[in-house]
Chains A and B, each alone.
Chain A
């Protein structure tokens, strides 16, 4: 019992131990710990970030799909409209062609009729001349009586 030189020895030992701990023990352990802490925090933060990004991407994907659907619907509608328009146009054109053809045919018929009528007139005048010459038993100067013949043909 009692205080003696052991005290001094203990104080020196204690000081040396503190300095050793301070130099070689505390910093590496503390550094490893804070490094790990940082890594874990970083990992958690990046996980959260990825989660957030995933959600954003999902949202964006859904948006894209929605847009694509809308676009597809629009395209289909436009195509339908266009198809109907084409059909209408074709019908219109067909009608126009038919009308044109009919008109042409009418014109041709008209022309043929008038032609036939002219022919008939000519033949009638010929016949008349022939008949008249038979009746008169002599040649009728066709030229001299042309005017009268034309009038006759007109009446036929």
Chain B
């Protein structure tokens, strides 16, 4: 239990480890944790990929292949263009976000207390509860949506869709069409990023609140919330991946 009032405890836990001022502030904790998790992901998958065996896959290879198969199936069902970029993108999103979300299950006080020993005051180890991380993904996806729109329909086709869809191709309707399309385009990354952020941020706060309970009462809501979260964690990673693929497929194909 933290000393001082509950408000103080909660706000303390919601403070990032930062460097810099204003916009150029950088959340060291978010970056470091997501890098480490990303390297764990890539390390495991790269090690498997380098000595992938056709005849006798090891246990870890089987697990990795299950992931790959799963993502590949989702991509094949939704996206009908060339898959050499979209499928690895889906895999990266799914596993990386899954690893981020798993950080939610680590006791909320473990890393803050450990790092306090080496003099670090604030730390948040759940990247998905940082909007910068979730929007980092979803804005990259927005860029990909634009790239795939141009790739799939050509610059002219994409322009035509922006101006002439959905109301019609009359020049008077162009502003309305463009407005609607821009709103639609912006809504995609915002909903993607907010969904992941909102779910995991709320989860983190609930865990922090549970940690405020007396020590003998913590395990009941703690266990219940953690079990519920075992469902939410892969689900959110899955939703992020599938929506990304669906958005890209919508962007790539003619309506």
Most buried by B among A9, A31, A39: A9
Task: State the majority secondary structure of interface residues on A.
Answer: helix
One of A13-21, A58-66, A102-110 at the interface? A13-21
Binds B, one of A22-30, A76-84, A123-131, A135-143: A22-30
A76 to chain B, nearest CB (A): 58
Measured between beta carbons, the chain A residues less than 8 angstroms from B253 are none
Please, how many angstroms separate the alpha-carbon atoms of A132 and B26 in the complex?
A: 185
The interface on chain B, measured as residues whose beta carbon lies within 8 A of the other chain's beta carbons, has a size of 47
> In the complex, which residues of chain B have a beta carbon less than 8 angstroms from the beta carbon of A24?
46, 49-50
Q: How far is the CA of A16 from the CA of B130 in the complex (A)?
A: 20
B residues within 8 A CB of A36? 54-55, 57
Known: A11-B140, A28-B52. A5 touches B23 (CB 8 A): yes
Which residues of chain A come closer than 8 Å to B88, judged between CB atoms? 18, 21-22, 25-26
* Interface status of A144 (Cβ within 8 A of chain B): no
- Chain A CB within 10 Å, residue with most, of B50, B91, B92, B140: B92
Is A155 positioned at the interface, with any CB of B under 8 Å from its CB? no
Q: Give chain B's interface residues, CB within 8 Å of chain A.
A: 14, 20, 22-27, 30-31, 34-35, 38, 41-42, 45-46, 48-50, 52-55, 57, 64-65, 68-69, 72, 84-85, 87-89, 91-92, 96, 130-133, 135-137, 139-140
